[in-house]
């Protein structure tokens, strides 16, 4: 065999320690697939005294990941620190400047700086690999970049955040509201103490921006992603949606719209037969639609030490074997700068729930607001009064441009008979 591929790992948290464990436990099989041994020669982390459950004897220790990226006797730097900027970005830039390959699980870094880092890596003649950055152990980047390379991808979408998927699954199955289930998810370790990054959709949006770049050959454009989370989803909305034949998920979706690209993350309703509808708990799934292959669906665990470390090591095996592709599927200089489709241009059906005072003329006001903005109603569901003499009116619209529906709902919100802000959830056909 050839000389070992020497690896330096920045960050020894859950994924970093998991990566060392995978490399140690499966060393023989990995070497056979890579054509040579993959050997960790250096690590960097903040606390030397912490027991990480993996042996570190004979491995050089660096307190500073940037110094490690520059000075370690390594061929590859694995960045598992996290964060769009700071030491993670500096370490990756230092590694590339010193002509070392980079493997990262850092979706935030790629979403904000991916195009520039790809150009730097290609100019330096090194690889920038990131299979672990999206959907954990699901090989979605390799599938889009290599397996589906003969296709024009028209749409890619998925459940990209296991925390949100777990919360929505539990809300549906237990009929509990968001706050109760979030607290439970935090207790189980599925949600962080500060869960905003997950539940506000930012994590999924970072991943979607990366997926869209690989799928469409466009420059990563996180600012073009419309982002909504799940804080305002109620058990009542989930129950009404189920009654009307829908399942609710937080979905990231990117699609070609002529010469422009649409990118959005938000809760949406779908038919129970849709490929994402049965993906429950902490699992992730990604669906790609190509002109020749049709629909390809991948699902599996989207986070955790094992799945994410598996993806990191898969990238190391490719580097060890000399297998290289452009970072985002096409050379960085050829990544297109596509126009963005604003959410106001979305055209499709929606679910709307209004809490209104139960008195004559209210439904006429609703119908008038919708009529004046050319919003057509497909179906209406009304339930009896609550203790405050208010009723829930649930409306499914026909295909409508979002800007028109937004105007109608804004008008209704100013109506004294509408006692809560309207609840709107988009309906998608998958």
What amino acid positions are annotated as catalytic residues?
A: 207
Does residue 83 contact residue 90 with C-beta atoms inside 8 Å?
Answer: no
Stated length of the chain: 430
Please tell me the distance from the alpha carbon of residue 43 to that of residue 68, in angstroms, as a whole number.
8
Q: What is the DSSP letter of 98?
A: T
Each as own residue / partner, the long-range contacts of residues 26-33 (CB below 8 Å, 24 or more positions apart, any chain) are 26/313, 30/313, 30/317, 31/1, 33/317, 33/321
E strand segments, 163-278:
226-227, 247-257, 260-270
Pairing type for strands 247-257 and 260-270 reads antiparallel
Please tell me the distance from the alpha carbon of residue 220 to that of residue 256, in angstroms, as a whole number.
14
Give the closest residue to 205 by CA, choosing from 144, 172, 158: 158
3-state secondary structure of 157: strand
Give the closest residue to 84 by CA, choosing from 76, 75, 93, 74: 93
H-helix or E-strand spanning residue 196: helix 196-199
Does residue 419 contact residue 353 with C-beta atoms inside 8 Å?
Answer: no
Please tell me the distance from the alpha carbon of residue 429 to that of residue 84, in angstroms, as a whole number.
33
Pairing type for strands 101-104 and 128-129 reads parallel
Task: Name the token pair of 154.
Answer: 């028209």
Pairing type for strands 283-290 and 294-301 reads antiparallel
Residue labelled with tokens 């948290």: 13
């Amino acid at each position: 065999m050839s000389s070992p591929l020497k690896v330096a790992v920045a960050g020894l948290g859950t994924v970093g320690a998991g990566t060392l464990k995978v490399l140690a436990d499966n060393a023989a099989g990995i070497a056979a697939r890579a054509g040579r041994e993959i050997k960790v020669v250096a690590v960097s982390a903040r606390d030397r005294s912490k027991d990480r459950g993996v042996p570190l004897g004979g491995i050089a220790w660096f307190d500073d990941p940037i110094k490690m990226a520059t000075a370690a006797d390594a061929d590859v730097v694995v960045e598992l620190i996290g964060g769009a900027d700071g030491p993670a970005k500096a370490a990756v830039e230092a590694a590339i400047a010193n002509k070392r390959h980079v493997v990262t699980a850092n979706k935030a870094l790629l979403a904000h700086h991916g195009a520039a880092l790809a150009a730097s890596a290609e100019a330096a003649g090194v690889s920038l690999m990131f299979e672990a950055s999206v959907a954990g152990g699901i090989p979605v980047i390799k599938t889009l970049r290599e397996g589906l390379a003969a296709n024009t991808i028209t749409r890619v979408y998925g459940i990209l955040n296991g925390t949100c998927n777990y919360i929505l699954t539990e809300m549906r199955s237990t009929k509990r509201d968001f706050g109760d289930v979030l607290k439970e998810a935090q207790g189980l370790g599925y949600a962080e103490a500060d869960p905003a990054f997950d539940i506000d959709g930012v994590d999924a949006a970072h991943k979607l921006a990366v997926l869209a770049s690989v799928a469409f050959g466009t420059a990563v454009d996180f600012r073009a992603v419309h982002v909504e989370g799940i804080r305002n989803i109620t058990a009542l909305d989930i129950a009404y949606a189920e009654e009307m034949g829908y399942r609710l998920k937080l979905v990231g979706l990117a699609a070609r719209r002529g010469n422009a690209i649409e990118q959005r993350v938000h809760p949406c309703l779908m038919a129970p037969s849709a490929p994402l509808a049965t993906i429950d708990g902490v699992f992730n799934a990604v669906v790609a639609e190509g002109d020749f292959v049709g629909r390809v669906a991948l699902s599996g665990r989207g986070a955790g030490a094992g799945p994410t470390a598996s993806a990191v090591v898969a990238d190391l095996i490719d580097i060890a074997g000399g297998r290289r592709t452009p970072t985002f599927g096409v050379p960085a200089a050829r990544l297109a700068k596509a126009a963005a489709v604003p959410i106001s241009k979305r055209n499709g059906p929606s679910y709307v729930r209004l809490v209104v005072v139960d008195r004559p003329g209210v439904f006429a006001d609703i119908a008038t607001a919708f009529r004046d903005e050319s919003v057509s109603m497909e179906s209406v569901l009304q339930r009896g009064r609550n203790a405050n003499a208010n009723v829930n009116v649930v409306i499914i619209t026909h295909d409508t441009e979002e800007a028109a529906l937004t105007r109608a709902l804004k008008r209704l919100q100013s109506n004294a008979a509408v006692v809560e802000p309207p609840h709107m959830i988009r309906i998608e056909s998958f």
